[in-house]
Amino acid sequence: MDLLQSERTFSPYGPSHWAILLLAAAVASLLVGIGRHYQGARATRRISRAFAVVIVAFQLPLQIRSLLPAQWNIHLSLPLHLSDLAWITAAYALWSHRWWAHAPTYYWGLTLTTQAMITPALDAPGFPHLDFIEFWGHHCLVLWAAIYLTWGVGMRPDWRGYAATMGVTLTWTVVTLGINSLLGTNYGFLNHKPSNPSLLDLLGPWPWYLAVEFVVLLAGWALITWPWTRSHADR
């Protein structure tokens, strides 16, 4: 907490950033341990649903707040980032244990959410400002849900989930690109790169970085699918 309190304005790789990354890793490890310890249909379901309620209880008031007149900003307030879809999907995956909800939680949580945490696009004061808490709570909860469901509960990604997640992601991309073009917004960083340094800087100019990012996702998600399907086939 001293590290967090010592930083008045958030800066990437400053004290609060490192503290949050360490906290995220520690909680993820704890959740895996809890999931494995309380194996069993009834216990697992109760813990998962409690986790789902925590996500909704955290996110929903913040989403409502962003739509209020005092906070309204057409460039920021609409729930059009992929991370907005991710927390809803993660909450439903925890509540239902449906494969088609777990799959995008797994792929988005382990790649896109992690990338956002490593190179955060956050222009806000540091802890305990509400914008700071919202950003990190939002991303950490999705990551924790992905890790808990996969390594704690024992749900497994497969090629069916890979294809479904890619389809949903492409649909979101097309829809959000259209909305951005109509409103002059940049949700999902689909119409231009974020101002802060990110992995997108390595992928070329717009619109080519979108195509490169798609290819990288195809390959990256295949790589984190293959070990699960291979081990299953070898049994």
Low-confidence ranges of the chain (pLDDT < 50): 1-6, 235
Whole-number pLDDT of residue 131: 87
What is the pLDDT at residue 120? 87
pLDDT computed for residue 7 by the predictor: 52
Residue 63, C-beta contacts closer than 8 angstroms, at least 6 positions apart: 79, 84
Are the CB atoms for 92 and 200 separated by under 8 Å? Answer: no
The reported pLDDT for the residue numbered 185 is 95
pLDDT single digits (tens) 187-214:
999 998 887 777 777 888 888 889 999 9
pTM over 0.75: yes
**Residue 2 pLDDT:** 44
Outline where the chain has alpha helix (H). 2-5, 15-37, 41-67, 82-96, 99-107, 114-118, 130-147, 159-183, 208-223, 226-234
Give the model's pLDDT for residue 6: 44
Distance CA(155)–CA(148), nearest Å, equals 9
